[in-house]
Structure 1
Amino acid sequence: MIYGIGTDICDIRRIRETFERRGERFAEKVLGPHEIEVFRERLAKVPARGIAYLATRFSAKEAFSKAIGMGMRMPMTWRACEIVKAPSGKPEIRLHDGLAAWFDAKGLKAHVTVSDETDYATAFVVVETRP
């Protein structure tokens, strides 16, 4: 049964401007431990790819917070929710700390998809109850 859905669209230009103003502190606030490593690798190779990665993760976390009906308040934090890639390439949600405990206690499972184009990143999340 569906517990909640969330979607978000993000202007990559806005993320780029924020990153230019605040530097890596912005990325470190939004990205979890695994994500920050991927971000740094992508940014070093092709800066636009790094910024697009940051934008898709920002968008996915916003969509996830909407799907669980919590918004950005405890235990939902930027770094407690990571969007990682499964071996197949499929994006998945990995939760940490209190958010992971809350999610497991509710018996929930999440599905996420992300996409980006030149100026926009988008994400869609479906959260369902586990059978």
Structure 2
Amino acid sequence: MEIYIGTDIVENKRIQQAYEKYKDKFLTRIYTQKEIEYCFSRKEYIQCLSARFAAKEATIKAYYQAFKEILTFKQIEILGHKNQPAEILLHNIENHRNFKIKLSISHEKKYSIATVIIYTA
């Protein structure tokens, strides 16, 4: 088994500024419809968006280490579940290798952080 790790930290203000400047253009370029709906159902939607941005960046890093392929933001979907850890869904990937992917995300007032681990057989 091999293990690949990606991590990313985002200043929440950066995501807020991008959203305020580009609105839906920013959202639809980065996030899936489910992610947008989930985050905007939360009181602290900027922190939610930031945490998902960090998770997508961390996924891109770990996936590239493991398979030497670059994912796009929209190929990565971070699903939130109330009172449960978030999970990653990957869409439209050519990779048929056996692997598991795990995610840990956290956010607070100023920063959001994510770590992704990929386990390959």
TM-score class normalised by the smaller sequence: 0.7 to 0.9
Structure 2: how far apart are the matches of 1:118 and 1:88?
20
Quickly say closer, same or farther: Cα 1:4–1:50, change in 2 above 3 A: same
Following superposition, which runs of at least 4 residues in structure 1 exceed 6 angstroms of deviation?
Answer: none
Structure 1: how far apart are the matches of 2:37 and 2:109?
23
Question: Match for residue 59 of structure 1?
Answer: 54
Q: Which structure has greater strand proportion?
A: 2
C-alpha deviations, 1:46-89, integer Å up to 9, x for none? 3xx1111110000000001111126xx97611111111135761
Q: Flag structure 1 segments of 5+ consecutive residues without an equivalent.
A: none
* Counterpart check, 1:12 vs 2:3: no
C-alpha deviations, 1:1-24, integer Å up to 9, x for none? 234100000000111111111112
Decide whether the 8 Å contact of 1:8 with 1:63 is kept in 2: yes
Decide whether the 8 Å contact of 2:6 with 2:61 is kept in 1: yes
Decide whether the 8 Å contact of 1:3 with 1:68 is kept in 2: no
Q: Secondary structure at the match of 1:118?
A: coil
Quickly say closer, same or farther: Cα 1:17–1:61, change in 2 above 3 A: same
Question: Match for residue 30 of structure 2?
Answer: 30
Decide whether the 8 Å contact of 2:58 with 2:116 is kept in 1: yes
Alignment of 1:36-115 (within 5 A): 36-42=36-42, 46=43, 49-69=44-64, 76-86=71-81, 89-97=84-92, 99=93, 101-102=94-95, 105-115=96-106
Decide whether the 8 Å contact of 2:63 with 2:70 is kept in 1: no
Q: In percent, how many aligned pairs have the same letter?
A: 32
Report how many residues are paired: 119
Structure 1: how far apart are the matches of 2:33 and 2:75?
9
RMSD: 2.0
